[in-house]
Structure 1
Amino acid sequence: MDSPKGPTEWAEGRHGVGPWEGPWPDDPRFDPTLLAEGDRRNVVDAYRYWSLEAIRAELDTRRHPFHVAIENFENDMNIGTVVRTANAFLAEAVHIVGRRRWNRRGAMVTDRYQHIIHHDTVGDLVAWARGRGLAVVAIDNTPGSVPLETATLPERCVLVFGQEGPGITGDTAAAASMTCSIAQFGSTRSINAGVAAGIAMHAWIRQHGDLSRAW
């Protein structure tokens, strides 16, 4: 039996449009190749046939004033998921601290639309953030942390996540203006870093996002 069609990218034919029908529009945002061949990318309908550059430029007019950072000192495999989720919530940028190499497969091509900034050390990230008036908020279940469910997140901030397993480094904990934990009720002591990032970004959206601007 054929699988039912749906709105996600997990089955062929579930998204996309064919070649443009009728006279071509003269809107400079449209890509001639996409108009001729169709647009099968995983983008919302409002961006169909738009060039990559046009989509990025439009997103830049609406980005939220929060950033996301993830430590990558041991080649964390969750970075692609973090990038994809940051794109969904329209974060200003994703910061990768440590190794520059990361597995882009999990990003599902969203890294093309998301600003990504590399920092060699936590100190470099903190200096960058403070120079722009951004609060550093660590997300980790450590003693003395504030429950994310009741915390008031700064509107202009960098949400920093540690690697799977070790969590945030001591340098990040020392530099953070606040550390928030995510409530857990099962047997495991931690949750996936990519999942934690999504929870924290959504918490920011619930507090500061303008839902009238959502698709």
Structure 2
Amino acid sequence: MPEDAGPGPTEWTRPDEVGVGPWQGEWPDDDRYDPELLAHGDRRNVVDPYRYWRREAIVSDVDRRRHPFHVAIENFQHDHNIGTVVRTANAFAAAAVHIVGRRRWNRRGAMVTDRYQHLHHHPDVDGLAAFAREHELTVVAVDNTHGAERIETARLPRRCVLLFGQEGPGLSAAAREIAELSVAIAQFGSTRSINAGVAAGIVMHTWVSQHADLGRAW
């Protein structure tokens, strides 16, 4: 990599060009690097420290940085927010994302980040509940229902599953039943609910604010 392109959080090293071109100079003697990317450049949506790395090497390195929270979202109506949730979970290094309901989902919003994120599928809420019990994870329901604690003042468990419902109907009754804690995002306008993808980002960032080592952030 050129000397003036030091590691950073951005996707690009030039404002007019996404990614980086072919490697300049002698190639690194490191199995993490992909010869194709070294030869032709790397235009992927990855942070600069992972430029030219193989996908498997990136996943392995992110695995060392992952946090002990999981994200789950119900998918009984092909919710288009799932891609956004996956992309945000990747940005915050969630342990995994769980799709509950239909297996197929719209990956466009994920912007290819699903290739670097562990994904699990559960045909129903009972499957998610079993996973949570097996891995000693507290299920936290996120929905603006009566009795939910304010996310702004609640203390989220360190090891947990943040469970989100679909756009419109919110969490199913079955999902609310398996939750040990319910939280809601404070709202002040006329709308009844926040977009599911936006809500997921707010709650994940709340977990990061409470538990993450910010010194390890890019």
Check the 8 A contact 1:56/1:113 in 2, yes or no: yes
Give 1:179's match in structure 2, choosing from 157, 168, 182.
182
Q: Does 1:161 align with 2:172?
A: no
Secondary structure of the residue that 1:201 maps to in structure 2?
helix
Alpha-carbon deviation of 1:8?
6.3
Q: Does 1:203 align with 2:210?
A: no
Give 1:73's match in structure 2, choosing from 68, 73, 76.
76
Quote the Cα distance in structure 1 between the aligned partners of 2:134 and 2:16.
Answer: 46
Q: Does 1:151 align with 2:162?
A: no
**Residue number in structure 2 paired with 1:63:** 66
Quote the Cα distance in structure 1 between the aligned partners of 2:141 and 2:11.
Answer: 31
**Residue number in structure 1 paired with 2:7:** none
Alpha-carbon deviation of 1:13?
4.3
Contiguous gaps of at least 5 residues in structure 2: 1-9
Quote the Cα distance in structure 1 between the aligned partners of 2:185 and 2:78.
Answer: 23
Q: Does 1:86 align with 2:86?
A: no
Quote the Cα distance in structure 1 between the aligned partners of 2:16 and 2:110.
Answer: 20
Quote the Cα distance in structure 2 between the aligned partners of 1:8 and 1:40.
Answer: 8
Which residue identity lines up with residue 142 of structure 1 in the other structure?
T
Check the 8 A contact 1:95/1:116 in 2, yes or no: yes
Q: Does 1:141 align with 2:181?
A: no
TM-score by length of 2: 0.93
Identity value in percent:
68
Alpha-carbon deviation of 1:42?
1.3
Check the 8 A contact 1:8/1:14 in 2, yes or no: no
Quote the Cα distance in structure 2 between the aligned partners of 1:14 and 1:166.
Answer: 41
Secondary structure of the residue that 1:61 maps to in structure 2?
helix
Contiguous gaps of at least 5 residues in structure 1: 1-6
**Residue number in structure 2 paired with 1:53:** 56
Aligned pairs, number: 207
RMSD: 1.2
